[in-house]
Each structure stands twice: as structure tokens, then as C-alpha cells.
Structure 1
Amino acid sequence: MKPRSPKNTQSSPKSSVKNKNKEKEESLLPFHPLPLSFPLPASLNRKSKSFFLILNILFFLQCSSLQEKPKEVYHKDLTATEKVVLSKIEEVENSGIKSLSYMYLLGDGVVHSGSLGVDKKGQIQRFKIGSITKLFTGIALLQLQENGKLKLDDPVSKYLPELVGMSSRGQKYREITIRDILTHQSGLPSDRASGFFLSPNTKDPEILAAFRSLPQTLSQMERNEPGKAHSYSNFGFGLLGIVIERTSGIGIEEYFQKNLFSKAGMKHSTLLELNDGSELVTGYSGLFWKTETLRPVIRDLTAGSLSTTGEDMGLFMKTFFQSKRGNGLLSPSSFFEFHRIQKGPSSNFQMKLGLPVLMEEKKSGEKSIWISGHSGSLPPFFADLLYDPESETASFLVGNTLSFATASIRPANKDILDITYEYKTGFKWEDPPLPERKKQNRLDGFYGLYVSPLGIHEVKPGNPPKIEMMGFDIDLVEKDNRFGTNLRLFFGLIPVKEKTLESMRIEFEAWEGTPIFTMYSLNAAKGSWGFGVLAKPDYRLPEKSFLTTYQTKDPYSLISRVELKEDKHGFVNATVYYSLGGMENSNQLPCQLESESTLRILGFGRNLGERMDLKKVDGKPVLVYSGIQFLGE
């Protein structure tokens, strides 16, 4: 199916050609993916998994790949601009996405939106946008600050006294503020996996009850030091929804409808599942053959539950930009604060966060342009939103299919924003050069094992030295007074020529006295992929019966199973399996024994630094992690 011509929500002398069969628009919304790697089918043999491991690293690189700049000139040429934008969307559809919804703004206040692959003609269908929901949550909190209901630098315990009963990993930690959670540096757990996914048939009252139970779980959890490291937290953003309810005095859906959706004219958007006049589009998953998936229903509403359409997202961005002139969703000062680069922990390095928008620097001549946005993944849905607050250009793209094609959505959306910016300003932007570094890294004292959000890495001496990453040994070669990377597959016979891989740089340095390495490339700021921390195994193991596979009986559990075993490097290795959008993915989490009954996941970052508890029930091993009690085999 060819993409429909974009729909304009207001007339324009250069408006797009209207589609003759006036089907209703539909749009998608996803949320931040739990794992960083691509989900694999649960039933693969060892050879198949080796093949998919190779595809896995290529997928990871493709998600961040650098795009060639278009050679055409689009400035004020609406026909050429619309043609190339629609061709980009068509390419994504042809890559294997069942249904897509899109929106773009050319800086003139006209919303261009459309959809393709709709499975029910005449029915408006919504897409899940996942973690893009967090932008709406941040706007709501700034609105409440404007109205004197709260302050972003207030301790969260002022509104969530249940937080006082939460245990701390260390002593004398300072209070967690609302701003800490908005910028993912609160030290709260990344996720409360127990009860995260609900039955697809759960009704709105039961979803709200689960959502409002979040503060009661705080006494069962442990927090790390706030302000020390960036650690993405859906759990924290769920709690912020409770703060919104308690300070506004109304329910979370009512608040979003009254103060966000209605103000923007968004008629087909909702946090909950039921919405008169529209329904959620069917989702699909599969690497080669697409299978219909269950509807994803989550408890942490304000972290990633919003569903909407492309047209509604255009109306949202149009109204949001009007905040600059005092008649939008925020005051001009709050709009500025939303996009002001917030103070982050030293471990953020060069990663820039707003409240909570992600910000990326581009260069147009000598001028710096800060692109804002967020992606969202609630499998099988994946969405991406990018915009420039200054030129008021924007692009949004969302799909409903979890497959290899998922990787094409964000690069295509970046291309579209590039084009809309050129249409409005007449300029193209470029990636800024890497920060100057006068002295090359030296690896003396840095060889050894590291843990990061991407797993275990070994830095090995040699000519050239190597770093193990995602199961591959990657050569470290000197580039730009740093280490660059070379990868050759199949016994070193086939070099991998990929722009992000070739532009990747790795630096070794000391952070708080500990050897670390950081990675970045021309389009990924240093620190945005986390960082690796030198870890020395102590070879201590729990009682042998605990080294087994643990299962949960919950059919909708975010985590389906956990395997504990001795790692070849001397750690206790926890393999955590996530069930996402009909497919299974796993993360390798190296641990050390903290006591006879406690394992500590090593490292800093998402799902790192957290605790696993071991116990015996009726003589059988039991593992408790993220609120779930897993039974050992």
C-alpha cells in the first residue's frame, strides 16, 4: 500500500493533495525498550542463536546509524518536500511494518499527518507511544509548579510519604527530588517488574488500582544514591503520576484529558485503554513471518501507556510550540525550563537531558542547534519524536510491528526532521565534531573485565588490543587521540563497514578513582550508551542449589525467567529473560555475592546496582528480584 497524502489540520494555499478515499487517520505510540539488544524468538537452537547474535550487533548499530544528507534542495519547496518525506515513510513500510502513523510540521503551524496499513477502514485507530508519554508527564509537573501546587526541587517524600519507609543501599543519602526523577538520576530502581504488564483484558478501573498501588511497594524496594549516575527508571515515572494525582486532586486520566489533550485538541488520545470513537491498532511481531500479538497493558501509566494518533501528535506539538508565545500548554518560562539542559551526575559525561526530553547538538555553520525528542518502545509498538523548538519543525513516526524493520523507524524519522528543518530555514545541519582530546588513551592499568548496561566486556592486550562486546572481539585502533573500533566477522575474513561502528570512539579514564571506559560516536554523545566499570571477580558462589533456572507462574510477567550460573570470568551471572511483544530477549547481568542470601548486580545504569535475594521455601531454591518471587527448578 502506498502512503496516503498528508492531512493538514488547517487550510493552506500549498496544502497537500487530499486522498480520495478519506480513511480515518491512525497513530502509534511506543515506550523506552527494556533491553538494548534485539529480542530473539524463544525457540532457537544454538547455531541459530549464533547467527542472530551477529544480526543483533548489526541491529544495534543500525538503530544509531548515520544517515547520508539529501542532495536535493527543499527550502520553501512544498511539493519536493512532501514527495521525499512520503518516500521515506514508504521505505519504512516496505521494510516490514504492518501499520504506520506519522506527523510532521514545517514550521508554519500546519499539521501534516497520515497513516498506512490500517487494518480497519473507517475506524480511528491509536498506537502506543511508550516512553514519549514521559514528555507529557514532565509538562504536567511544570503546569502544577506554575499553579503553585509543587516545586520540582521539592523532596518527593513531601507528596509520597511512603518513600520514607524505603531502604537505602548506603547511609545518609540525600532526599530524592522530583527533578531527580525527571532526569533519571534518582537512584530508584529502573523497573518494578512485578505487575508491570497486566492481562490484555484488564479494565480501566483495575489498571488504575494497580497504578495507585505503586507507593505501597516502596517499602519492599531499595534505592541507590541519587545524583550519582544516570539510570533510566520507568518505576520513577510511575510514581510521578501519583504525585500529579495527589497535588492536583483529580485522577490521572482526567488530568491528562483536561490539561493536556483537550487544550491541544487531541480527541483520540488516552492513558487508559478505552476511548469512545477509537481503538488500539492490532500489533504484530516476527522476524520473517508476522504474528498478531496481545494488547500491551501496563501499570506504570505515566511512564509509557499513552496511545494516540499521528494527527493528535501534530496538534500536541503545534500547541506546545505556542507556549513560547504564552498561549500553549506551558508558560514561556516553563517551556524554556523544559528544554534547558539540566544538571546531571558526572557519569552523564556529555549526555544532555531536559525535563525529561533528550537533547542532541547539531551544527549549522557556527550556530549550535539543539534537537529535542524521545523514542518510545512498548513492544510490538515503536515510536520516535524529534523536533526543533526554535524553528518549530517536528517529525513523528510510529509502527506496530516488532521485527528487523523496527530499526528503520528512528533513522527515517531523523531524515524527515532534517528535511523539514531545511524547508523552513534553508540550512542543513551537521553533526558536531568530536570534542578535542590532546592525549591518546593508554591502556596500562586498564586491562581487565568491565561491566556496563551492555553486559561483560574484557579489554585484552595484543597488537592491536581488543575489547569484547556483544560476544565479539573488536579491535581497538588509535583514532582522533582516542581508540576507534574495527570489527571483522567469520574468522576475520569479512570486515564490517558500518558508519556508526567506524565512527565509534572509546575512551579509558578514571571516574571517582575507578577505571572506566565510555563509548560515543558522531551522533551519540559520550555517556549515552552508559559506561563500563572495571570489576574484579571474587569467585565467591552461592550454595550450589541456587545455581539453577527460576520461573514465574505469571503468564503476563515482564520477566519470564532468570538463570543463575557461574560465569567463566568468575562472577555469578544472572541471565534475565524479558517477554516483550511476543518475543523474548535476555540481558546478562554479572553479580557478586554480598551475603549468603544476597546477590548484587554490578555496575551503574539501567537495572544495574540492584539486588537479588535468595532463600529456600520447602527446601527448594527461590529467587526474589524486582518484586517477583521466582521458583527454582
Structure 2
Amino acid sequence: MRRLSILAVSAFVVVAAACGSDTGTEDSATTTTRAPDAAQAEKFQTALDDVRDDFKFPGVVARVITADYEWTGSSGTAGQDSTEPPTASDHTRIGSITKTFTVTAVLQLMQDGKLSLDDPIGKYVPGLPNGDTATLRQLADMTSGIPSYTFDENFQNQLFGDPTKPWTPEQLLDIVRGAPPNFPPGEKWEYSNSNLIALGLVVEQVSGQSLGDYITGKIIEPLGMRETSFPDTAEIPSPHLEGITEQGQPEGQTTDPTNWDPSWAWAAGAMISTLDDLQIWAKAIGTGEGLYDQQTQDVRMSSFLYGLPPNTATAAYGLGLGDADGWLSHTGELPGFNTYFGYDKNTQDIILVAVNSDIPNAQNQNPAPAVVQKLQAALAGS
């Protein structure tokens, strides 16, 4: 049985040698209207086709935006049993990209003076390992030392035993309450979904709203992301991609997890969006426009932990966001789905990818990062 990669993949290690095309700093997300030339479009399409041939997933849809052009392409189908191609308007589960929304909510509340990033998590959420010493900042940048509930074997057995079961945030955190911390806060970097569940509870406590209502009212609606949602049911709006996964299945078998209940991922990975909406999100994250003031954007942009292993000098995680060779980015993985958004802070180029599979290839690489690397290489050669 294939066990867990759920929301456990390092969110920023999507590193290619290139940093994007040399197209200047014009706002590509809003000014681009024309397509690339045929040769460039063929490079992008070949990237999608080659990765799908390697991974054997049902389908992928991707978009590349520069100051000079916008390209959207797909390969394969919207689902294993579908004959339709995936499109940029298809809804998909975006997994850990949800983290970028949850931490954005925390930063908004910080800007409003309702919390401090230096507050210990125990001020809001009791009983966690390192609760008296790990700060909200350390939860958001993954240096808290709090273990991830998703690695708990009993949790995995329950999840895959009944993937339609709803979970509450407190049930998820109870899995790690009483456990020893993995390390003192700030000593190491380690991706933990428990961090984001706790931060989601902070947002609720401080704002007086449910996390879904806060994110919808303060982030999604102001940005005009009409097809993005924080679901409170297992349903995914149509049209949507149909996922395929090996997780929790007997060796060599797959299943369709599209309608599994996402509440187990909550503030760490439950959200739904489309490639069209993720284009809006990529620009908002890259610029801070529509989210918070420049001072708060500067706090986020100065938060990347370069050099703290496994971060490197050029690829690092910060406040709910990665920086990989200049690409401000996050991947998202949920059983059946693998998604990516990236915004090049130097050129304002954007890359978006949605794959309806989380099954790795023979080299144990996930599908969306593989597509991103190919697209970045094609972009660099343009």
C-alpha cells in the first residue's frame, strides 16, 4: 500500500536553472493579449506531452504568461474515463496552495493590529508541542518543531479506511497533542501540516469568523476569484478535473479520490480553484496588491529562510510561501491532484499547472513540479 505523501512535499523545491524569460518588468498578468509564436508554443506543448508520457497521468492544463504573450495548453483528458481535454476553467483541488491563503489571513490580521507574529501559538491554541515557545511566525515558516499529524500511522489508517469521514481541526491537532516536539523552535526547517491547522484556528479566534468565511470575504471576493472556494462539503463544482491516486490503495491499484472529504486538510489544503483564478492569485501574491499594504508585503518577502537546511541559498520557504530561484511559488498536493502557481519576482512572468494525478514517476518526482521544470526550461530558451 502506498503511504503518505499527502500535503507532505516540500512546497518550494521546484527549481530549474532558469529564472524566466528576459522580458522586462511590465505587468504581464494584465497586459498580455497575444499568443507566442508557433515555435515557442510547440516547446510548451512538447513539455506537457513529454511529462504526461513519462508519468502516464490522465491530463494536465498549464498556462505561461510573460509581458510578450500568454499561452495556455493541455495534454490528455480531464479524467481517466473522460474524452474531454482539461481546461483552465475546470475546478481542481489545490491542496497546500491553501496554505498561502491561510497565512495571508494571518498577515492581514497582523496588519490590523489584532495579533503579532511573535505571539506564541499557545496564546491561542493550547496543548501543542512547543506551544509556549513556537511563535506564529515559526508556524507559518515551518520552523516550529511541531510534528505533522499527517505522518501519524493511525491517522493514515483512519483516513484511507474511510476517506469520506469529516474531521474537525481540533481532532487533527489532538493527534499531536502530548507528543514530543521534533526540535526546538527555529532550530530546523520541517514541513508540518499541524502548523497550518493551528494558524487556521488563530484566524477564527481573532477574527470571530469561520476560516472559510474570513478567506472568502477578505481575500477571495475582493480579488474577484469567483471560482475559488473554501469548501465545507466533499463536493467539487463542475466542470472539474477527476483525480487518480495510489494513496491508501493495494500495491499496483489506483482509485478516484475526487469526492473524498477534504476536511482532514482544512487550513493546510482543502481549497478548490481553477487555473483562471490562480492567475489572479499568483499576481496578488507576487505584488501584495489587493491583499495588504506594502509594509506587510515586505514582511512576507523578507521572510525566506535561505540557508536553513533543507533550504538553500536560492530556494527557501518563508511565511506560507516559497522562493525558488526567484519564483514566488507553492505546490499543492491532495490525493488525485497536483497543482502549482509561480510568479517570477524579477520578470513578473507567471506559470500555472494543474494535473489530475498525484502519482510520482519512477524517480519519485511529482507530476506538477516535473511540468514546471519543463516549462521553465522552455521559457528560458524563448
Cα deviation, residue 68, structure 1: 9.4
Aligned match of 1:334 in 291, 296, 299? 296
Matching of residue 292 in structure 1 with residue 255 in structure 2: yes
What is the CA–CA distance in structure 2 between the aligned matches of 1:353 and 1:314, rounded to whole Å?
A: 21
Aligned match of 1:374 in 301, 316, 330? 330
Which residue in 1 is equivalent to 2:353? 397
- Gap change, CA 1:214 and 1:371, over 3 Å in 2: same
Please give the per-residue CA displacement for 1:375-412, whole angstroms capped at 9, x wherever unaligned: 23223322233321232112121212225286453233
Instruction: Identify unmatched segments of 5+ residues in structure 2.
Output: 25-33
Matching of residue 247 in structure 1 with residue 247 in structure 2: no
Cα deviation, residue 280, structure 1: 4.9
Which residue in 2 is equivalent to 1:307? 272
TM-score normalised by length of structure 1: 0.47
CA radius of gyration, larger in = 1
Please give the per-residue CA displacement for 1:45-71, whole angstroms capped at 9, x wherever unaligned: xxxxxxxxxxxxxxxxxx98967999x
Instruction: Give the AA of the match of 2:221.
Output: S
What is the CA–CA distance in structure 1 between the aligned matches of 2:345 and 2:66, rounded to whole Å?
A: 12
- Gap change, CA 1:195 and 1:118, over 3 Å in 2: same
Q: Is the 8 A contact 2:282 2:342 kept in 1?
A: no
- Gap change, CA 1:304 and 1:73, over 3 Å in 2: closer
**Residue 292 of structure 1: SS of its match in structure 2?**
coil
Which residue in 2 is equivalent to 1:356? 320
Cα deviation, residue 178, structure 1: 0.5
What is the CA–CA distance in structure 2 between the aligned matches of 1:270 and 1:97, rounded to whole Å?
A: 25
Cα deviation, residue 98, structure 1: 0.2
Which residue in 2 is equivalent to 1:270? 229
Which residue in 2 is equivalent to 1:147? 112
What is the CA–CA distance in structure 1 between the aligned matches of 2:318 and 2:197, rounded to whole Å?
A: 18
**Residue 91 of structure 2: SS of its match in structure 1?**
strand
- Gap change, CA 1:64 and 1:311, over 3 Å in 2: closer
- The structure with the greater share of residues assigned to strand is 1
- Gap change, CA 1:265 and 1:212, over 3 Å in 2: farther
What is the CA–CA distance in structure 2 between the aligned matches of 1:111 and 1:302, rounded to whole Å?
A: 32
List aligned pairs for 1:18-29, cutoff 5 A. Answer: none
Cα deviation, residue 313, structure 1: 0.9
Q: Is the 8 A contact 1:104 1:314 kept in 2?
A: no
What is the CA–CA distance in structure 2 between the aligned matches of 1:67 and 1:91, rounded to whole Å?
A: 19
Q: Is the 8 A contact 2:102 2:267 kept in 1?
A: yes
What is the CA–CA distance in structure 2 between the aligned matches of 1:345 and 1:94, rounded to whole Å?
A: 35
What is the CA–CA distance in structure 2 between the aligned matches of 1:410 and 1:391, rounded to whole Å?
A: 20
Which residue in 1 is equivalent to 2:122? 157
Which residue in 2 is equivalent to 1:86? 45
Which residue in 2 is equivalent to 1:526? none
What is the CA–CA distance in structure 2 between the aligned matches of 1:102 and 1:92, rounded to whole Å?
A: 12
Q: Is the 8 A contact 2:122 2:132 kept in 1?
A: no
Which residue in 1 is equivalent to 2:64? 104
Cα deviation, residue 190, structure 1: 2.3
Cα deviation, residue 349, structure 1: 6.7
Instruction: Give the AA of the match of 2:62.
Output: Y
Which residue in 2 is equivalent to 1:258? 217
- Gap change, CA 1:136 and 1:313, over 3 Å in 2: same
- Gap change, CA 1:148 and 1:167, over 3 Å in 2: closer
Cα deviation, residue 233, structure 1: 0.6
Which residue in 1 is equivalent to 2:133? 175
Q: Is the 8 A contact 1:31 1:133 kept in 2?
A: no
Cα deviation, residue 177, structure 1: 0.2
Aligned match of 2:282 in 317, 320, 334? 317
List aligned pairs for 1:404-443, cutoff 5 A. Answer: 404=361, 407=366, 409-420=368-379
Which residue in 2 is equivalent to 1:118? 78
What is the CA–CA distance in structure 2 between the aligned matches of 1:133 and 1:418, rounded to whole Å?
A: 27
Which residue in 1 is equivalent to 2:30? none
Cα deviation, residue 157, structure 1: 1.6
Q: Is the 8 A contact 2:96 2:330 kept in 1?
A: yes
Cα deviation, residue 235, structure 1: 1.2
**Residue 258 of structure 1: SS of its match in structure 2?**
helix
- The structure with the greater share of residues assigned to helix is 2
Instruction: Identify unmatched segments of 5+ residues in structure 1.
Output: 1-29, 36-62, 362-369, 424-633
Cα deviation, residue 232, structure 1: 1.4
TM-score normalised by length of structure 2: 0.74
Equivalenced residue count is 343
Asked which structure has the greater RCO (Cα within 8 Å, sep 6+), the reply is 2
What is the CA–CA distance in structure 1 between the aligned matches of 2:70 and 2:235, rounded to whole Å?
A: 23
Aligned match of 1:127 in 70, 92, 95? 92
Q: Is the 8 A contact 1:320 1:328 kept in 2?
A: no
Which residue in 1 is equivalent to 2:164? 201
Q: Is the 8 A contact 1:238 1:303 kept in 2?
A: yes
Same amino acid, percent of matched pairs: 20
- Gap change, CA 1:334 and 1:67, over 3 Å in 2: closer
Instruction: Give the AA of the match of 2:140.
Output: L
